[in-house]
C-alpha cells in the first residue's frame, strides 16, 4: 500500500516536474522545449520513418537552440512503446509525436498519466484534451499514380503490394484503381498482402511474385526500396516511390513518388506549444496543404501522360476535384456514390471495401 502511494506520488511528482520545466521554458526563454519522436522503423528505412525524421530535423533547423529533439527508433507497438513515451514525458518532453497507427492505445494511456504533456498521434482516430491526431490524404497521390500506371501499362496488369488491410491502405488501392480504370478500362489489379510496413526481403518477394504474374507496374504501400530494386532487375517494370522520393531509382523504374512531408506540420505544432496555443485537433491534409508531395515525374513517362497527371495534381490541390467522385459502385455491385457525389471523410476514414472491378477479397 505504501509502495502504491509512494509510486503514485512520485509519478505525480514526475508529471509536475515535467510541467514545471515546461513553464520555466516560457518564463525565461532560455530553457529548451523538448520534443520527442517515437518511430516504428529505423530512421534509415528510406521511407516512412525516414520522412518523419526529416520532419524532426526540420524542427531542429527551424527553432535552433530553443528546441531539443529526442527520438527512439524501431519501437515495437504495445507495451514497449508505452514505456518509451512515458520515459520521454518523465525526461521533460513537452510534445511527443507517436508516428505509427499501432501506438494509438499506448498514446492515450500515457497521455492520461501526463495531462500537461501534449501528444500527437499519426494516423489514428482516438483523441483527448492533450492528444491530437494527424494524417495525410495519401489517396490523392494514389490517384495520380493510378492515372500514370493505367496509361503506361502494356500487360494491363498492375501489381500492388499492400501492407496491412486497414482503411488507409484500402483507400489507396481504390483510389489508384479508379484512376487507372478511367484511362484504361482493361486494367486489372493484382494485390499481395505483405503484413509488414518494412521488411525488404518480404517486399522483394512480393514484387517478384507480381512481376512473374505479368505485372509491368508495381505500386507499393510498404516502406523499403526493395520493390524498386526488384523492378530494376526485371527491367521492364515501372514503380513509384512510397513515403519518400526514392529518387535513387529514377528515372526508371521509379517514374514518380508520393512523398510524406511532415515538416510544416511539425514546425507548426512545436510553435503552438511554445506559444501556448496548442489545442487538440484532427488534421488530415493532402496535396493542397503540402503534406502529400508528388515526386518529380520522370522522362520515362510520355509527355502527354505527364501533362494529364500534373493537371490532375493541380485539380486535387485546389479542391476542384475529389479523388472519390461518383458514379462509383462497391465491389459487390451496390451503389457507393451517385453521379457527381464525393465521399465524406467519415466513409473514407473507415473504408473497408473495394470498389467495383477489383478482384479478390480483403483478408478477413
Binder among 1, 276, 339, 340 for another protein (CB under 8 A): 1
Query: Grid coordinates 528515372 are at which residue?
Result: 251
Max alpha carbon distance in the chain (Å)? 75
How would you classify the pairing of strands 238-241 and 254-260? parallel
Q: Which is nearer to another protein, 198 or 278 (CB)?
A: 198
Q: Which is nearer to another protein, 88 or 204 (CB)?
A: 88
CB of 147 to another protein, least distance (A): 26
Q: Give residues with Cβ within 8 angstroms of 317, minimum separation 6.
A: 286, 287, 288
Residue 352 binds another protein, judged by CB under 8 A: yes
> Distance between CA atoms of 55 and 95, rounded to whole angstroms?
14
Residue 42 binds another protein, judged by CB under 8 A: yes
Q: Which residues pair with 96 in a beta bridge?
A: 36, 119
The 3-state DSSP class for residue 209 equals helix
Residue 79 binds another protein, judged by CB under 8 A: yes
> Distance between CA atoms of 33 and 24, rounded to whole angstroms?
10
Q: Which is nearer to another protein, 77 or 341 (CB)?
A: 77
Residue 87 binds another protein, judged by CB under 8 A: yes
> Distance between CA atoms of 318 and 240, rounded to whole angstroms?
23
Site for another protein in 140-199 (CB under 8 A): 164-167, 195
The interface region with another protein, picked from 76-84, 141-149, 235-243, 329-337 by CB under 8 A, is 76-84
Residue 83 binds another protein, judged by CB under 8 A: yes
Q: Which is nearer to another protein, 86 or 151 (CB)?
A: 86
* DSSP 8-class letter at 186: T
Residue 8 binds another protein, judged by CB under 8 A: yes
The 3-state DSSP class for residue 310 equals helix
Range list of β-strands (E), the chain:
33-38, 67-72, 95-98, 118-122, 131-136, 157-162, 188-193, 217-220, 238-241, 254-260, 282-285, 292-295, 328-329, 335-337
Among 289, 250, 265, which residue's Cα sits nearest to residue 141?
289
The interface region with another protein, picked from 20-28, 80-88, 304-312, 335-343 by CB under 8 A, is 80-88
The interface region with another protein, picked from 65-73, 128-136, 149-157, 219-227 by CB under 8 A, is 65-73
Q: How many residues bind another protein (CB under 8 A)?
A: 47
The interface region with another protein, picked from 81-89, 227-235, 269-277, 317-325 by CB under 8 A, is 81-89
Q: Which is nearer to another protein, 192 or 316 (CB)?
A: 192
Residue 22 binds another protein, judged by CB under 8 A: no
Residues forming the site for another protein (CB under 8 A): 1, 3-4, 6-8, 10-11, 14, 36, 42-43, 70-80, 82-84, 86-88, 90-91, 101-102, 105, 109, 125, 164-167, 195, 349-352, 363-364
Amino acid at each position: 500500500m505504501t509502495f502504491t502511494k509512494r509510486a503514485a506520488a512520485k509519478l505525480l511528482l514526475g508529471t509536475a516536474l515535467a510541467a514545471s520545466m515546461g513553464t520555466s521554458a516560457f518564463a525565461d526563454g532560455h530553457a529548451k522545449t523538448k520534443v520527442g519522436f517515437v518511430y516504428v522503423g529505423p530512421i534509415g528505412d528510406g521511407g516512412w520513418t525516414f520522412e518523419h525524421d526529416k520532419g524532426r530535423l526540420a524542427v531542429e533547423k527551424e527553432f535552433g537552440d530553443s528546441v531539443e529533439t529526442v527520438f527512439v527508433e524501431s519501437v515495437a507497438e504495445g507495451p514497449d512503446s508505452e514505456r518509451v513515451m512515458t520515459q520521454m514525458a518523465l525526461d521533460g518532453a513537452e510534445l511527443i509525436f507517436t508516428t505509427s497507427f499501432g501506438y494509438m492505445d499506448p498514446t492515450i494511456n500515457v497521455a492520461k498519466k501526463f495531462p500537461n504533456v501534449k501528444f500527437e498521434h499519426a494516423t489514428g482516430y482516438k483523441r483527448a484534451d492533450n492528444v491530437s491526431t494527424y494524417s495525410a490524404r495519401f489517396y490523392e497521390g494514389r490517384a495520380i499514380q493510378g492515372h500514370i500506371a493505367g496509361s503506361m501499362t502494356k500487360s494491363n496488369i498492375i501489381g500492388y503490394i499492400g501492407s496491412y488491410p486497414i482503411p488507409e491502405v484500402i483507400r489507396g488501392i481504390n483510389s489508384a484503381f479508379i484512376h487507372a480504370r478511367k484511362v484504361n478500362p482493361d486494367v486489372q489489379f493484382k494485390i499481395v498482402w505483405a503484413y509488414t510496413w518494412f521488411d525488404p526481403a518480404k517486399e522483394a518477394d512480393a514484387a517478384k511474385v507480381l512481376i512473374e504474374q505479368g505485372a509491368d507496374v508495381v505500386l507499393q504501400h510498404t516502406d523499403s526500396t526493395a520493390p524498386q530494386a526488384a523492378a530494376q532487375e526485371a527491367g521492364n517494370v515501372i514503380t513509384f516511390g512510397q513515403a519518400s522520393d526514392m529518387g535513387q531509382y529514377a528515372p526508371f523504374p521509379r517514374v514518380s513518388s508520393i512523398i510524406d512531408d511532415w515538416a510544416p506540420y511539425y514546425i507548426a505544432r512545436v510553435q503552438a506549444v511554445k506559444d501556448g496555443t496548442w489545442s487538440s485537433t484532427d488534421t488530415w491534409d493532402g496535396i493542397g496543404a503540402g503534406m502529400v508531395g508528388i515526386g518529380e515525374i520522370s522522362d520515362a513517362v510520355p509527355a502527354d501522360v505527364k501533362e494529364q497527371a500534373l493537371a490532375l495534381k493541380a485539380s486535387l490541390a485546389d479542391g476542384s476535384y475529389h479523388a472519390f467522385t461518383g458514379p462509383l459502385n462497391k465491389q459487390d455491385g451496390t451503389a457507393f456514390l451517385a453521379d457527381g457525389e464525393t465521399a465524406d471523410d467519415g466513409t473514407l476514414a473507415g473504408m473497408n471495401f473495394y470498389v467495383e472491378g477489383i478482384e479478390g477479397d480483403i483478408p478477413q
